Structure 1
Amino acid sequence: MLKLKEIKREGKMILLTHEKTVIGFIGTGVMGKSMAEHLLNAGYTIVVYSRTKEKAADLLRKGAEWADTPREVAERATVSFTMVGYPTDVEEVYFGENGLIQNGREGSYLIDMTTSAPSLAVKIYEQAKKRGIQAIDAPVSGGDVGAKEAKLSIMVGGEQKAYEEIRPILEQLGTNIVYQGKPGAGQHTKMCNQIAIASNMIGVCEAIIYAEKAGLDPEIVLKSITTGAAGSWSLSNLAPRMLNGNFEPGFYIKHFIKDMKIALDEAERMGMDAPGLALAKSLYIQLAEKGEENSGTQALYKYWKS
């Protein structure tokens, strides 16, 4: 179990690990960078790895240490976080020659926060367990804003005892941390999240386009509908970005398409029809084919503008 000590900083209880504990963080993109920075600011020793070292430059300037490979992270870290792009990236980071499982320390913890396949989460757990390593699947929701403000929703799958042991670290990253159950349960919960978002984003965009075509001021319309029954995170946070022409990624379209494919595959495996999800995926694929794969999900608005 992690050895923790508590200190009070500006009236808030901050949990710091024993000085010998090292946290590894692999993947310092749009969200991962902010998440690693929160851990660094909380007093942890952080070792980072990213395929592009420049993405970790700010963290390195602030005191994080660089690792040349995931293997180096595994050899040094007590707790390793991964926040990468695709299931194939997760496979490489965990099972490659320089991967975390093969080179991890007995008694360490592996926490994958990538949105990935539930079956892959189970595989990671089983293989890590054989080496005396605890693996947790803990995908997140909240986008770039949630990551920056440390207000992510974190959905956890794995052994409950392991979850309870690493929870103090997760509390540095999110405010809604829920244990969902056995290995893979966190990823299944994230699929529920993505399914809800997919259809909702269609509704948000259609509402804004409707308002514009009706001659209304969509910003004023938002003042009415964001606090009513139609209210949602996407309506409050992403609709204003659409109206401001801001399509920078809080979450990439290419990654959302990946998530929807996983969810549809899982739904098919369970014998479930998901027409709303299928429609959303088809619309986003059309956008990606027009060069919008690196835009934020709010760029779905452009489907009606093209």
Structure 2
Amino acid sequence: MKLGFIGTGVMGQAMVGHLLAAGHTVNVYNRTKAKTDELVANGAIWCDTPTEVASESEIIFTMVGYPSDVEEVYYGPQGIFQTAVTGKTLVDFTTSTPDLAERIYQTAKEKGAASIDAPVSGGDLGARNATLTIMVGGDEEAYQQVKPLFEVLGKTFQLQGGAGKG
């Protein structure tokens, strides 16, 4: 399965490392390219934009700093929604706002994709040790599709309800 990961800061870098170790192909993007160097050396594939990550991946994870960053990554001129996402699943790990999660969910649905919000707790240590707690909002079908990947990244994960409930 081709995965995409946008945002390879301290937590994202550790999470991508676990996905690579589990044998997945991972396309990566980060605003600061140097933060992906170690991942690329370990087999990740660099992409120049979030749009490219989305076009090359089946499941796209985002782990960025703030809701404004989430908005840019999804809706910006080089964002995820600038390419066809039909049949893809979008997973936002960022601690964001319920309104933005619901908006992303609706846009994804209109474009034939699935979207779940999945903020995490556990910090840097949880990311490094793959012991994150993942609180998920979205549809059961999308959750079940991504659940095996959550098992690679964390210890506790649960569907809390619809979009914005993660």
How high is the TM-score relative to the length of structure 1? 0.54
Taking only aligned residues, the RMSD between alpha carbons, in angstroms, comes to 0.7
> Counterpart of 1:51?
31
* Partners of 2:85 and 2:108 within 8 A in 1: no
1:166 to 134, 140, 146: 146
The 5 Å alignment of 1:3-82 reads 21-82=1-62
> Counterpart of 1:90?
70
- Letter of the 1:180 counterpart: Q
Shift of 1:99: 1.2
* Partners of 1:31 and 1:148 within 8 A in 2: yes
- Letter of the 1:131 counterpart: K
Task: Measure the CA separation in 2 of the matches of 1:50 and 1:74.
Answer: 13
Residue 177 of structure 1 pairs with residue 144 of structure 2:
no
Shift of 1:170: 1.1
Shift of 1:34: 0.1
1:125 to 101, 105, 119: 105
Shift of 1:165: 1.2
Shift of 1:94: 0.3
State the percentage of identical aligned residues.
54
Higher helix share: 1
* Partners of 1:158 and 1:183 within 8 A in 2: yes
How high is the TM-score relative to the length of structure 2? 0.98
Structure number with bigger Rg: 1
Q: How many residues align?
A: 166
Residue segments in structure 1 that go unaligned for 5+ positions in a row: 1-20, 187-306
* Partners of 2:102 and 2:163 within 8 A in 1: yes
Higher strand share: 2
- Letter of the 1:62 counterpart: N
Task: Measure the CA separation in 2 of the matches of 1:54 and 1:104.
Answer: 28
- Letter of the 1:143 counterpart: G
